[in-house]
C-alpha cells in the first residue's frame, strides 16, 4: 500500500511540474507576442535582439515541457504497474482469507452437527412404545 501511495505522490509531483512548465510556455509566448507588437512599430535593428533571445527562451521552455511530459508518462506507467501489482497481492490475500473462512465454517458446522447428534441421541427413549392395533 505504501509503495502505491509513494508512486501516486510522485506522479502528482511530476504532473504539477508539467503544469508549471506549460504555464511558463504560455507566459513566455504572451511576452514574446507583446515584444513583437512593440518591435513592429520600431525601425531600430536592436529591437530584434531581445525578441530573438525570448524566442530562444521559448524553445528551451518547450523542450523542458516535453521532457517533463516524458517523465510524467514514465511515472504514470510505473503507477499503473504498481496498481496491477497491488491488485494481484490483494486478490491473493482475499482468496486466502475467504478459503480460511470457508474452512472455519465447515469445521464449525461439523462440530454443531456432532453436538446435535449427541443431544438427539441422549433425548431418544431407549424403548420404543408399542401401540396395539385395533
pLDDT digits over 49-63, tens only?
A: 788 888 899 999 999
Q: How confident is the model at residue 122 (pLDDT cuts 50, 70, 90)?
A: confident
pLDDT of residue 132: 66
Within 8 A by CB and 6+ apart from 69, the residues are 18
Domain ranges of the chain: 2-121
List, for residues 27-49, the tens digit of each pLDDT value. Answer: 999 998 888 887 776 666 777 77
**32 contacts 61 by C-beta, under 8 angstroms:** no
d(Cα 2, Cα 57) in Å, to the nearest integer? 40
Within 8 A by CB and 6+ apart from 21, the residues are 61, 64, 65, 68
User: Which cell is 110 given?
Assistant: 461439523
For residue 125, pLDDT over 90 is answered with: no
d(Cα 62, Cα 29) in Å, to the nearest integer? 10
pLDDT of residue 129: 61
For residue 128, pLDDT over 80 is answered with: no
User: Which cell is 22 given?
Assistant: 506549460
For residue 87, pLDDT over 60 is answered with: yes
pLDDT of residue 52: 85
Output the pTM of the full model: 0.62
pLDDT of residue 134: 56
Q: What is the mean pLDDT of the chain?
A: 88
Angstrom distances, CA of residue 68 to CA of 27, 63, 88, 97: 17, 9, 30, 43
Amino acid at each position: 500500500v505504501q509503495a502505491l501511495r509513494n508512486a501516486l505522490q510522485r506522479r502528482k509531483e511530476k504532473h504539477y511540474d508539467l503544469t508549471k512548465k506549460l504555464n511558463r510556455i504560455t507566459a513566455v509566448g504572451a511576452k514574446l507576442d507583446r515584444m513583437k507588437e512593440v518591435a513592429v512599430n520600431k525601425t531600430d535593428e536592436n529591437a530584434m535582439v531581445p525578441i530573438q533571445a525570448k524566442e530562444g527562451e521559448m524553445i528551451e521552455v518547450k523542450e523542458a515541457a516535453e521532457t517533463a511530459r516524458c517523465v510524467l508518462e514514465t511515472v504514470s506507467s510505473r503507477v499503473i504497474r504498481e496498481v496491477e501489482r497491488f491488485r494481484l497481492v490483494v486478490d491473493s490475500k482475499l482468496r486466502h482469507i475467504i478459503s480460511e473462512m470457508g474452512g472455519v465454517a465447515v469445521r464449525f458446522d461439523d462440530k454443531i452437527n456432532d453436538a446435535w447428534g449427541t443431544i438427539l441421541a441422549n433425548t431418544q427413549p431407549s424403548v420404543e412404545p408399542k401401540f396395539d392395533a385395533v
